[in-house]
Amino acid sequence: MISKLTLKKRRNERGWTLLELLAVLFVIMILAAIVMLLMRGFFSGARETALDTNIKSMKSAVDAFMTEAFKAPTEDGMLPIGDELKPIDFAASFSANGTVKSFYPHFLAELPRHWDEGVWKLDYAARVVFDMDPEKY
């Protein structure tokens, strides 16, 4: 015959506690929230922010070039480096006041993404333009 103590033990061992159920529901809710944010494109804003920051850095580089070299970009978006006209080259350097300076100044933290792929350009009004789908940036 089964004793009353054995029956009590079995009753206590069955099922989940309220705390365990709440913990599982909490984890499921967090995962669902992350999936919803991903579906709505919440995290793609980081790419746009990075692109905006890099465009501002590029504008700073062009401004520094104009200040140091006393030359403005040409109407066709070329930079007058030395006696030549060149498209934007982040590794380019020029001479000003007897010293060699780089196009991309040292005070800008890092080169923008895709800097070596020819997607950074100057338009006819010497504004910085980015010729690439921002979603792929």
Write out the two tokens for 7: 């029956």
- For 58, counting Cβ atoms within 10 Å of its Cβ (0-12 exposed, 13-18 middle, 19+ buried), the class is buried
Average confidence (pLDDT) over 55-77: 80
Does residue 25 carry a pLDDT above 80?
yes
Would the pLDDT of 89 be above 80?
A: no
pLDDT digits (tens, 9 = 90+) for 28-61: 999 999 888 887 777 677 778 888 888 888 888 8
Write the DSSP symbol of residue 70. S
Task: Check pLDDT > 60 for residue 127.
Answer: yes
* Residue 7: band (very low, low, confident or very high) from pLDDT cuts 50, 70, 90: low
